[in-house]
Amino acid sequence: MSELQEKERIAIERLKAFEPDEPYHLCYSGGKDSDVIRILAQLANVKHELHHNLTSVDAPETVYYVKSIPDMHIDIPHDKYGNRVSMWSLIVKKGIPPLRIMRYCCSELKEKGGEGRLKITGVRAAESVNRKKNAGVVKIIGKPKTTQKTAEEFGADYDLTDKGGLVMNMDNSPNRRLVEHCYRTTSTMINPIIDWTDADVWSFLHHYGCESNPLYQCGKTRVGCIGCPMATTNQRFLDFHIYPKYKQLYIKAFDKMLEEHPNKDYYTWNNGEDVFNCWLGIDENQMNFFEEET
């Protein structure tokens, strides 16, 4: 058995070990890791539903690809009052563009959904230093004192993340009982490919004949939101060159942000285009202002 076949076997065992009575809520972004967990859930024959959160800033190719997948649930984010939430509404509400150190867009547009459900994600430690430190096979996010006390009562083997969540890497009986107890009242995620590399992901997809999102065939190494602050500066410039309508939508949102902020003296920009140029780093002094003030 090859190393990848062994990782596939272990990932399937992880999915089977924590399978709840109702279907898993499989968090599908449209990227390569999402395709891996989608195929693994089928191979494991566990009950699951595919869910994609419509962010409003995904590339059109991603949206088309996601919608082409059978049995996909397209979820539109709303706030607690029932109002539609988009990148454009968040910019106005938060009063600042999304930044590396303030990625409110991820928490509001991508990470919500599946409340009271056990979620499957494609999180991998190899993606970033932060994910390596703060993710395991299982991740439980809840009130730290409550989750830690419960974990100790069950005798679960856990570690703490920097933000107070619990991560577990051993698929033993106490961990399974803890997950069964917690997932309805916390955000609980199963990360079956946490220890996979990029090479593992692509080898797996090629083996099962999945070409994944067509943006990868266009030279993309990652598939994310248009204008994502985690992308390189060159990638962001390229995105706005390819998708100029998104640039105009950001500028329009920045105009509204300047107009509706209760303390307009807080800003030094004249219009949304000033904000956009600053956000891309064209005005380095203003970009420093972003990083320091937030």
pLDDT of residue 133: 61
Q: Is 90 exceeded by the pLDDT of residue 179?
A: no
Map out the domains of the chain with their CATH numbers. Answer: 3-207 (3.40.50.620), 218-286 (no CATH)
Least confident interval from 4-8, 57-61, 278-282: 278-282
Higher pLDDT residue, 10 or 134?
Answer: 10
CB 261 within 8 A of CB 95: yes
16-36, pLDDT tens digit by residue?
999 999 999 999 999 999 999
In terms of residues, how long is the chain?
Answer: 294
195-251, pLDDT tens digit by residue?
999 999 999 999 999 989 999 998 888 888 999 998 888 999 999 999 999 999 999
Q: Is 90 exceeded by the pLDDT of residue 161?
A: no
pLDDT of residue 287: 44
pLDDT band at 43 (very low <50, low <70, confident <90, very high): very high
Average pLDDT over residues 100-122: 89
Q: What percent of the chain has pLDDT over 70?
A: 92
The residues near 101 (Cβ < 8 Å, ≥ 6 apart) are: 291, 294
CB 170 within 8 A of CB 17: no
Q: Is 70 exceeded by the pLDDT of residue 167?
A: yes
Q: What is the pTM of this model?
A: 0.88
CA of residue 161 relative to chain centroid, distance: 17
